[in-house]
Amino acid sequence: MQIKSPFFIEVSTIQDFGRLVCAFERTPLLTFSFKSAKDDLLATQIDFLNNIPVIYYVKYPSGGQYLAYRNTNGIEDVSIVESIQNPSVVYSPIISVDKFPPIFWRRPKGVKNSNYAPIRLSNFQSLVKIASYKMIYEESPLPLFVFNSTKKSKYVVGTALNMAESDGVSYFYYATIPENPNYSFIKYSSQRSEDPTFTNNIQEHGYIYIKLIKLLGSHPLVKVDE
């Protein structure tokens, strides 16, 4: 199998990255630590697009063995630590990489279906249903990414999902909002007739919680011309 260079997408903060790899994950995602030019990066892979890895990263020095994440009363704490000590903290193992194959750093060119196919949804209820439907099968909910639209007139909130594994097209389901939310999660109840709302507190019972991951700028693989 031919090795393909991945797509790289930068998240806004270390809090967003910690939330991505740890929050609501049954098994925390692996965090990879490596250098790119003069920058120290922490990165994780969560998807494939046309058999090409999609990697989300943040510029941040590792200097430790684990990324520790905790959310207490709506306050997030993300740190890099040497060992696992606190059972109330979620830990992502940090894998330190010395060298990748040269093709790893080449941006993919001439790739068929090199972008997600965007599908705009009518409301946030539909978006949250897509992000949370795997919980029926006791899997982790999908993250919702937040970023500027192509024309930077709105903010896009959405997630990638391929319903049919064999059709070769990956879809990005989204809704738009006028402003960047100052929250880290969306809460939703299928038992009540109320709209999903943004929140930082994930301790309230009776709700499904979906994590929001803010990107630095637009999403390079999603074109929303709004």
Cα atoms in the 13 Å half-sphere on the side-chain side of 50: 16
Q: Which residues, at least 6 apart from 27, have a Cβ–Cβ distance to it below 8 Å?
A: none
Quote the tokens at residue 125. 């209820």
Cβ atoms of 206 and 191 within 8 Å: the answer is yes
Give the percent of the chain with pLDDT over 70. Answer: 91
DSSP helix/strand/coil, 110: coil
Quote the tokens at residue 138. 């006791």
More confident residue, 76 or 62: 76
- Of 5, 223, 10, 217, residue with least CA distance to 111: 5
Predicted local confidence at residue 52, as pLDDT: 87
Query: Which of these ranges, 35-49, 73-87, 163-177, has the smallest mean pLDDT?
Result: 163-177
The alpha carbon of residue 147 and the mean position of all alpha carbons in its chain are separated, in whole angstroms, by 11
Predicted local confidence at residue 199, as pLDDT: 97
Average pLDDT, the chain: 89
Predicted local confidence at residue 101, as pLDDT: 76
The total number of residues shown for the chain amounts to 226
pTM exceeding 0.85: yes
DSSP helix/strand/coil, 40: strand
Quote the tokens at residue 51. 């058999």
Quote the tokens at residue 162. 């391929």
Main-chain dihedrals φ then ψ at residue 32, nearest 5 degrees: -105, 135
Per-residue pLDDT tens digits for 99-122: 877 777 666 555 555 789 999 999
- Of 51, 56, 49, 52, residue with least CA distance to 5: 52
CA distance 80 to 216: 21
| pLDDT tier for residue 181 given thresholds of 50, 70 and 90 | very high
Predicted local confidence at residue 149, as pLDDT: 87
Query: Within the chain, where are the H helices?
Result: 14-22, 124-132
